[in-house]
Amino acid sequence: MTPPRLQPRDAPPRTCFALEQAGVHPLLARLLAARGVRSAAEVDDGLPHLLPPASMKGVAEAARLLADVIEAGRRIVVVADYDCDGATACAVALRGLRLLGAAPENLGYVVPDRAVHGYGLTPAIVDLALQRRPDLLVTVDNGIASLEGVAHAQAQGLDVLVTDHHLPALVGDEVVLPSARVIVNPNQPGDGFESKALAGVGVMFYVLLALRAELRQRGRFDAASQPRIDALLDLVALGTVADVVKLDANNRRLVAQGLRRIRAGRMQPGVAALFAVAGADPARAAALDFGFKLGPRINAAGRLSDMTLGIECLLTDDAARAAELAAQLDAINRERREVEGHMRDQAEAAVDRLLAELAAPPPAVSLFDESFHEGVVGIVAGRLKDRLHRPTFVFARAQDGSLKGSGRSIPGFHLRDALDLVSKRAPGVLRRFGGHAMAAGATVEPEGFEAFGAALRQVAQEWLDPATLQRTLQHDGPLDLQWFNPPTAQLLDTQVWGSGFEAPLFCDRVDVLQQTLLKDKHLKLRVRHAGEVRDAIWFQRTEPLPQSVKLAFRIQLDEWNGRQRVQMVVEAAQAD
């Protein structure tokens, strides 16, 4: 893999000074300024600073519809998705509707099986939902592109409320929306909501906020006695981080509020159980725990088994039942890691063969093998994308014989828009597609796989220039000696970092004093940095470093036998 180009972030001095004057820690002020924070108001994560629900298109109509259905005692069935965002959104919807007066017997849910039903509100899922005798279907984290499914539901006499955050379907160059009774999606045309990065669980949370306001206006309760919807923010935070949406100011507030509740011990039993099986301490919960510990265990159910397990874990109020379900999710996740590891090895070997035949990596990569598992194609695509720094699709054979793939992209290449262009240039090859700029899914006719790959490479060739194809790693410059200590590491751990608001990465020259391999796959280092001897580790790196080198590193608090120390976790190196 070509080493990345190290590029310092710009932290405007005036902004740093203004943040410090407002009481922000000096180091944190520099880090926040370098990530686009321009005022102390953006640092305030209080709930009153959340964007108002009223600015979201359709949310008032959704609130009135739900209030009418609840007051009439009619039945609501939630149509979920099979990833962590969909599972948390389903749990938030059902818990929130109960809090707001819906009778438990009038609530239900269905979730597609990835291999059997595919994604979204398909006609088959509508038929499955009909077995639960609904009057209203509420989609969470799906539905915006479900034109056929919504039409089928309406033909059966059902109302449909779509809550989603994905991009709408395109027919030609025209945006086409499903004929649902109400649509709530910040990414639909004409929506003025400032945060387009809300996850599906965030959209559902906003619908509940609007519903509470509607019921308050109807006299169901007053401001003092209204249900505490913020009790669901642990689930909102989990789904938001796990879905890798951009952590803009509004999403950071949602995540920060969820973390605050978890650290105080206020969380759903299922969330507590997931922390336990992951071996993580809720009192020290960080956003990374959602992305690397809890999220993968829930996602594993949708990849290899039945997402009902994940949803039930988040819905139960019985701690013992939650522990049982979390243990099952943990076991499935271990199986997922084995499947992924084997498949990744196969994919890596295929890439090695491809690179051996070419002078340079192609502008985009598409892989398929009969042995690939549909449930982990997205993970493997992400691994290969990281290695090659190229838009990458990985496909597996679906039960109906088609090829179902998941893609991951790089900055500067909008994957959903690229698929739209591929569909126009290679008619009949793509059965369906959808997604975002950085991640998308596609179903391809088996005989059209080569044509798909060629068309995607051609689009990438036209859209990507050499600078975009060079992986760049932005860093925050040197870490002053005064901040290299446990309190600073703890301070940084309490902040919300993630997609679009990356965790601090420092960069400085060191002298390598000692280097050994740990478990034959991790480079363990002793280095001299700023006159001090420090421990460092580079995971998944086996090649030795020169004696003098510039390292890009994060700091990590390490505790052993009651003692705290800070070590450097290396992510990149550049010859000095």
Confidence at residue 117, expressed as pLDDT on a 0 to 100 scale = 82
Q: In this prediction, what percent of the chain has a pLDDT beyond 90?
A: 90
- Pair 202, 309 in one domain: yes
- Could you report the per-residue pLDDT of 540-556, keeping only the tens digit for each? 899 999 999 999 999 99
Q: Establish if 379 belongs to a structural domain.
A: yes
User: At 575, is the pLDDT very low, low, confident or very high (cuts 50, 70, 90)?
Assistant: confident
Confidence of residue 434 (pLDDT cuts 50, 70, 90): confident
Q: Is 496 helix (H, G, I), strand (E, B) or coil?
A: coil
What is the arithmetic mean of pLDDT over 289-318? 96
Q: In what order do the strands lie in the sheet with 136-140?
A: 107-110, 76-79, 136-140, 159-163, 182-184
Residue at a domain's end among 469, 486, 510: 469
In a domain, 485, yes or no: yes
Tell me: do 455 and 477 sit in the same domain: no
pLDDT of res. 558: 85
Task: Assess whether pLDDT exceeds 80 at residue 145.
Answer: yes
Q: Choose the final residue of a domain: 419, 435, 469.
A: 469
Tell me, yes or no, whether 418 and 486 share the same domain.
no
Cα–Cα distance measured from residue 338 to residue 374, given in angstroms and rounded to the nearest whole number: 14
pLDDT in tens, 399-432: 889 999 999 999 999 999 999 999 999 999 999 8
Structural domain contains residue 342: no
| CATH code for the domain in which residue 402 is found | 3.10.310.30
Helices (H), 389-470: 415-425, 449-463, 466-469
- Residue 224 host element (H or E): none
The pLDDT of residue 13: 95
149 shares a domain with 270: yes
At residue 172 the predicted structure's pLDDT band, cuts being 50, 70 and 90, is confident
Of 453, 469, 485, which residue constitutes the final position of a domain? 469
Asked, for residue 39, whether it belongs to a domain, the answer is: no
Q: What is the CATH number of the domain that holds 532?
A: 2.40.50.460
- β-pairing, 392-397 with 365-368? parallel
**Are 80 and 218 within one domain?**
yes
pLDDT tens across 483-526, in order?
999 999 999 999 999 999 999 999 999 999 999 999 988 999 99
If pLDDT is split at 50, 70 and 90, which confidence band does 3 have?
A: confident
pLDDT at 301 over 80: yes
Q: Are residues 322 and 432 in the same domain?
A: no
Give the total number of structural domains in the chain.
3
Residue 118 has a pLDDT of: 77
At residue 289, the pLDDT reads 97
Provide the domain limits for residue 53.
Answer: 47-332
Count Cβ atoms within 10 A of the Cβ of residue 483 and give its class: 0-12 exposed, 13-18 middle, 19 or more buried.
Answer: buried
pLDDT bracket for residue 453 (50, 70, 90) = very high
What pLDDT score was predicted for residue 435? 85
Consecutive H or E run containing 57: none
Give the pLDDT of residue 173: 82
Residue 347 counted as domain residue:
no
Would you say residue 491 lies in a domain?
A: yes
Confidence of residue 1 (pLDDT cuts 50, 70, 90): low
Flag whether 9 is in a domain: no
Q: Are 482 and 535 members of one domain?
A: yes
- pLDDT greater than 70 at residue 85: yes
Highest mean pLDDT among 38-42, 101-105, 304-308: 101-105
Least confident span in 84-98, 103-117, 496-510: 103-117
What's CA 482's distance to the chain center, in Å? Answer: 34
Q: How far apart are CA 167 and CA 435, in angstroms?
A: 6
Residues 464 and 481 in one domain: no
Round to whole Å and give the CA distance between 528 and 525.
10
- Tokens (6 digits) for 314: 């988040």
Is 90 exceeded by the pLDDT of residue 116? no
Q: How confident is the model at residue 359 (pLDDT cuts 50, 70, 90)?
A: confident
Are 505 and 386 found together in one domain? no
| Domain CATH code at residue 194 | 3.90.1640.30
**The one-letter amino acid at 269:** P
- pLDDT mean over 337-353: 94
Q: Which two tokens stand for residue 46?
A: 């209080």
Residue 23 lies in a domain: no
SS3 436: coil
Tokens of 139: 């989609």
Predicted local confidence at residue 560, as pLDDT:
78
Could you tell me if 451 and 477 lie in one domain? Answer: no
**553 and 445 in a common domain:** no
pLDDT at 164: 98
In angstroms, the CA 69 to CA 73 distance is 6
- Pair 144, 166: CB distance under 8 Å: yes
Measured between alpha carbons, how far is 572 from 32 in angstroms, rounded to an integer?
Answer: 22
**Does the structure show a pLDDT above 70 at 268?**
yes
- 511/547 Cα distance (integer angstroms): 6
Please report which confidence band the pLDDT of residue 240 belongs to, taking 50, 70 and 90 as the band edges. very high
Shared domain for 256 and 148, answered yes or no, is yes
